[in-house]
Amino acid sequence: MSRTTSARAGETRSGWLFVTPVVVILGLFLVAPILMAFWVSLSDWAGRGSPLSGAVTFVGGQNYTDLLGQDSLARSDFATSIRNNFYYVLLVVPLQTVLALGLALLLNQRRLKGLSFFRTSYYFPTVTSSVAIGSVFLFLFAGSGSVNALLKLVGVSGPNWFADPRGLLHLLLGAVGVGNGDEQGPAALTDHGFLSLSWWDWLAGPSVAMITIIALVIWVSAGAYMLMFLAALQNIPAEVFEAAAIDGASTWRRTVSVTIPLLRPTLFTVLTLGLIGTWQVFDQIYVMSKGNPSKTTLTPAYLAYDSSINQGAWGQGTAISFVLFAIILVMTGIQSWILRDRDKPRRRLGRAQRGGAGTGGDVGGYLATAGRQQR
């Protein structure tokens, strides 16, 4: 009896001892920063001394109203960054998901040989550094770079990618006669606006420079998501496909009506991780454009960094961080509401499949997390 109690006490002591390092580190560098930053976002701290010292004053929601309230440079920069990131998300999330799914379906054809070579090549960019990949893309898309050399072969003279702030939608609208390319939009759209940007500015679409970053990110991150789809595909029992084949379903029909519905849980995970990750784009912006040209690659994450570290507007930088946090929460919420399972039998199957993924799914999630950090 006494031996079991002392063993219990030993377990309690060791248990706490074992988890203490992790709890302290995560607490100090994940939880405490949030609280401290929240205070800074409500203060007028200018970067000198400690933000907790008596010299710092509480300014309430001032930093937030600067971003969302009255007309100011801070507000127009913030709105611009939101617009840029919005178009970035709108293109990256669907395209990387489709590419990842396509690659996974290709790699799941068991009658083909040499698949591990192809799988390795598609996944390799994911493990490399965003700085290294950034330098390669800076060269590929340079004015005299490989992409333009390739375009020249088919008779197209490519733009000076990284210096081109023209919005893609503006260019398309100009081509069908709305507005004057990027120069001037119709008065109905330029005269009114929202958050210091005219409607015409909101409608710019991603700039040519942003397209290069979008291309890079899709290219890199599809590999990680491909792996998650592949794990899920290999988890579907072969009999399911064979049954469909006996019923006379074509390959295309089988993919659309059998495979993709069975991939629903993975699809949900990939879309959610994609949505969370794309709103956090920072590394590529820092390495490749620093928000240039004409602020068309500015994103909230980079703006938060730039406002705080470079411009010393700490209250504003932290406030942007919190607004960004809120955006990510809302987006994830909306998405899980849209994609919520409506019919129960399928959900049960999906759940069984997800449970079956076991450690594999988690390692996949971890890889995606690692990938996300790179972004």
Partner 1 sequence: MSQTTSRTTPYGDPQDAGPAATRAAAPPPDEAKRRVGKIVGYVLLTLFALVYLFPFVIQVGTSFKTDPDATNSPLNPIPSAFTTQAYQQLFQQDFGLWFTNSVIVAVVVTAGRVFFDSLAGYALARLRFRGRQAISLGIIATMAVPGVVLLIPKFLIIKQLGIYDTYAGMIVPLLADAAGVFIMKQFFETIPVSLEEAAKLDGAGIFRTFWSVVLPVARPALITITILSFQSSWNELPHFLVSRQSPDLNTLTTGVAGLLTGALGAGNRYPLKLAAAVLMTIPVAVLFFVFQKRIIGGSLEGAVKE
Q: Which of 57, 251, 311, 336 binds partner 1 (CB under 8 A)?
A: 251
Q: Which of 56, 258, 271, 298 binds partner 1 (CB under 8 A)?
A: 258
Counting contacts by CB under 8 A, is residue 245 touching partner 1?
A: yes
Question: What own/partner pairs with CB < 8 Å and gap ≥ 24 does 330-336 have?
Answer: 331/89, 331/275, 331/276, 331/279, 332/272, 332/275, 332/276, 335/271, 335/272, 335/275, 336/268, 336/272
* Residue (of 257, 272, 260) closest to 232 by Cα position: 260
Write the burial class of residue 233 (CB in 10 Å: 0-12 exposed, 13-18 middle, 19+ buried).
middle
Other beta carbons within 10 angstroms of residue 155's beta carbon come to 6
Upper half-sphere CA count for residue 346 (Cβ side, 13 Å): 13
Tell me the site size for partner 1, rule CB under 8 A: 129
Interacting positions 14-43 with partner 1 (CB under 8 A): 14-16, 18-19, 21-23, 25-26, 28-34, 36-37, 40
Residue 136 or 334: the one with the smaller Cβ distance to partner 1 is 136
Interacting positions 272-291 with partner 1 (CB under 8 A): 276, 279-280, 282-283, 286-288, 290
- Min dist CB 203 to partner 1, Å, is 27
- Min dist CB 186 to partner 1, Å, is 37
Q: Which of 10, 61, 69, 181 binds partner 1 (CB under 8 A)?
A: 10
Distance CA 213, CA 297 (A): 9
Write the burial class of residue 141 (CB in 10 Å: 0-12 exposed, 13-18 middle, 19+ buried).
buried
- Min dist CB 175 to partner 1, Å, is 28
Counting contacts by CB under 8 A, is residue 349 touching partner 1?
A: yes
Counting contacts by CB under 8 A, is residue 132 touching partner 1?
A: yes
Counting contacts by CB under 8 A, is residue 240 touching partner 1?
A: yes
Q: What is the C-alpha end-to-end distance of the chain, expressed in Å? A: 55
Residue identified by tokens 């990938």 is: 371
Counting contacts by CB under 8 A, is residue 158 touching partner 1?
A: no
Q: Give the H or E element holding residue 279.
A: none
- Min dist CB 247 to partner 1, Å, is 6
DSSP 183: T
Interacting positions 350-369 with partner 1 (CB under 8 A): 352, 356-367, 369
Counting contacts by CB under 8 A, is residue 55 touching partner 1?
A: no
Counting contacts by CB under 8 A, is residue 64 touching partner 1?
A: no
Interacting positions 72-131 with partner 1 (CB under 8 A): 103, 106-107, 109, 111-112, 115-125, 127-131
Counting contacts by CB under 8 A, is residue 197 touching partner 1?
A: no
Counting contacts by CB under 8 A, is residue 134 touching partner 1?
A: yes
Counting contacts by CB under 8 A, is residue 322 touching partner 1?
A: yes
Distance CA 109, CA 123 (A): 17
Upper half-sphere CA count for residue 89 (Cβ side, 13 Å): 23
- Positive or negative CA dihedral for 286, 277, 315, 49? negative
Q: Which of 231, 335, 339, 341 binds partner 1 (CB under 8 A)?
A: 231
Q: Which of 86, 199, 219, 268 binds partner 1 (CB under 8 A)?
A: 219
- Min dist CB 54 to partner 1, Å, is 15
Distance CA 309, CA 295 (A): 18
Site string for partner 1, 136-155 (x = CB under 8 A): xxxxx-x-xxx-xxx-----
Counting contacts by CB under 8 A, is residue 372 touching partner 1?
A: yes
Residue 208 or 320: the one with the smaller Cβ distance to partner 1 is 320
DSSP 194: E
Distance CA 238, CA 256 (A): 16
- Min dist CB 122 to partner 1, Å, is 5
Q: Which of 55, 163, 309, 330 binds partner 1 (CB under 8 A)?
A: 309
